[in-house]
Structure 1
Amino acid sequence: MSAPLGLAALTVLDTAPLQQIDLAEKHGFDTVGIRLLPAAPRTTAYPVHTDPAALDTLIRRLADSPVEVFDLEIIRLGTDFNAAAYEPLLEAGARLGAKAVLVGGDDRDRARLTDSYARLADLCGRYGIVASLEFMPWTAVPNARAAVEIVSQADGPARSVLVDALHVARSATTLDDLAAIPREWLHYAQMCDGAVPAPTDDAELIRHAREERRVPGEGGIALADIWSTLPADLPISVELPNEPQRRAVGTGPWLDHLVAATRRVLSVAQVAP
């Protein structure tokens, strides 16, 4: 069975959810990820969970579409994290049919961060949504081993680790580390390529992640090796912000190119020894 492909919010972040569904339908994506909360202050998000009319409109649109909402973004675990504050987001996510919420770890106190994640996972489980903790090298969850250590301290079915190819390549994460993630904790993965050599400072790592990802197969990340360690049918979110390239060819051809390139990488990974 081929892996379902998702159109990540960051790939077309200037596009509101209704139009994002239109794009997904036209260009061969099975799911979308919606950014309800900003990744950083003063950045774009579409908080439909705070607007009942907008939420109802989105639900009606999904009812007439083969495209589904897979993931929501983004809950950050900071020093003042309060799980209950995210209940409206999770309630809306359940109505949208979302399967996962992306979680970032920002609290450098590991014990407190681990407790925050456990509390969030418990809340997510009540709504049938998994709490997908993403490791990113500049955060308090810098690699796959750290993510596994944190997630292992939670209970219940909502435990989840999110693998992003860019962060695998730019963190202290090995293929053995990926293979060691319990399969039941893998609910989706993010696909893109990246420039080699990679940036060495956090500011440039963040900029590349948010603005300058490469098309699968057009950078230097060993994507087939990464995907050969993951379940063959694992849903994929194509997260690939690169506005100069998108503008150069137009959004439609750009998305067609991303789908074709992603499928090529997956075909290689599936036949790799």
Structure 2
Amino acid sequence: MHTHERPMSLASLTVLELAPPHMVEVAARTGYSHVGLRLIPATEEEHHFALVADADLRRQTLRRLRDTGIGVLDVEILRLKPHTRCSDFETVLEVGAEFGAREVLVAGNDPDEARLTDNFSELCDRAMAYGLRPHLEFMPWTNVADLAQAVRIVRQAGRDNGGVLVDAFHFNRSGSRLDELQQVEPSWLGYAQLCDVAGPRPHDMAEILRQARNERRFPGDGDCDLPGLLRCLPANVPLSLEIPTRQVKDPTQRAQMAIDKAWALLKRLDLSA
């Protein structure tokens, strides 16, 4: 068991095959302090556990959380699309609050940046009532493609509980820069997602997407400038370990390797306190 001040969360995508109660048990056994719960699937194809609709599954998950002492760092994934009505997210926000989550992962899938910004503002207002902080995650294949655009939208939205989610994979593959990250308001960086990625940035966006969902590396096993990235983030910022990989078949082993390699990297950088 790792005992450190910095919260470490097991992201859903790392162990997407596990039902939430089992995921909580794995997180507890492998040394995490938190988990992330996927309340809305990222794609229509992925296997999904319907926590919002299934009250019994919610009760089982809440029981495991209480029994293990594991917390919920974030809930995901709320996509802002052209026809999004933020009122439709009310139940998801309510369930997130029921789980004691702190952060909400938001994706921007609307080419109209002004409308996307307005929806992000409204989502922040609705989330405020539940004590939740929406974080806009930039991903190179979405309409919020890089750090600079995410910062622009969050700044324009002007909400105190709005933030930007930095994922090491997307930071690398979007060509975002450390000097840009150094200028981000620290209060906007409520948590970050950590992984590694091998090789140079592909020219093909479909290949980037495939790598993001199937071929990430454990921290320190790839070519990202993780030392530079981590040193630009606020001290002891919670880290969500989002590392989908087909190289490790067993989900418990996957979770264990992720956290062991993350702590090893942080220790080498003297950032493990």
Structure 1 portions without partners, runs of 5+: none
Q: 1:263 corresponds to which letter in structure 2? A: W
- Which whole-Å CA distance do the structure 2 matches of 1:81 and 1:268 have between them? 44
The question of 1:246 aligning with 2:242 is answered: no
Q: Does 1:98 find its partner at 2:98?
A: no
Aligned to 1:172: 175
Could you tell which deviates more after superposition, 16-25 or 45-54? 45-54
Q: Which runs of 5+ in 2 are unaligned?
A: none
- SS of equivalent to 1:157: coil
Alignment of 1:83-162 (within 5 A): 83-162=86-165
Contact 2:14 / 2:254 at 8 angstroms: preserved in 1? no
Letter in 1 for 2:265: V
The TM-score normalised by the length of structure 1 is 0.94
Question: Retained in 2: the 8 A contact 1:72–1:102?
Answer: yes
Equivalent residue for 1:41?
Answer: 44
TM-superposition CA deviations, 1:219-245 (whole Å, max 9, x none): 1111011001011210000000012x2
Bigger CA drift: 49-58 or 135-144? 49-58
Instruction: Kindly provide the amino acid, as one letter, of the partner of residue 78 in structure 1.
Output: K
How big is the alpha-carbon RMSD for the aligned residues of Structure 1 and Structure 2?
A: 1.4
CA distance in 2: counterparts of 1:170 and 1:94, whole angstroms: 32
Contact 2:40 2:77 in 1 (8 A): yes
Query: 1:262 corresponds to which residue?
Result: 262
State the shift of 1:253 in Å: 3.1
- Does the alignment pair 1:51 with 2:54? yes
d(CA) in 2 for partners of 1:255 and 1:65? 16
Name the counterpart of 2:35: 32
Q: 1:57: Cα distance to partner?
A: 2.5
CA distance in 2, matches of 1:47, 1:100: 19
Return the offset for 1:40: 1.5
- The 3-state SS of whatever aligns with 1:141 is coil
The percent identity for this pair of structures is: 40
On the 8 A contact 2:24/2:61 being kept in 1, the answer is no
Give per-residue Cα distances to partners, 1:165-203, cap 9 Å, x unaligned.
011111131101111111111111000000111222111
Distance 2:40 2:112 in 1: 23
User: Equivalent residue for 1:62?
Assistant: 65
Matching of residue 181 in structure 1 with residue 184 in structure 2: yes
Does the CA-based 8 Å contact 1:33-1:69 persist in structure 2?
yes
Q: In the aligned structure 2, how far is the partner of 1:151 from the partner of 1:105?
A: 11
Please tell me the residue identity of whatever aligns with 2:53: T
What CA deviation, in whole Å up to 9, does each residue of 1:91-138 have, x standing for no partner? 011010001111000101111111111111111111111111001111
Query: 1:202 is matched with which residue: 187, 191, 205?
Result: 205
CA contact (8 A) 1:192 1:213 kept: yes
Distance verdict in 2 for CA 1:110–1:156, change over 3 Å: closer
Q: What amino acid maps onto 2:227 in structure 1?
A: A
Q: Hey, what does 1:220 align to over in structure 2?
A: 223
Paired residues of 1:125 and 1:157 also in contact (CA < 8 A)? no
Correspondence for 1:78: 81
Letter in 1 for 2:130: Y
8 Å contact kept, 1:190–1:238: yes
**Matches of 1:251 and 1:15, distance apart in 2:** 8
Distance 1:204 1:4 in 2: 32
Secondary structure, aligned partner of 2:156: coil
Give the superposition deviation at 1:139.
1.0
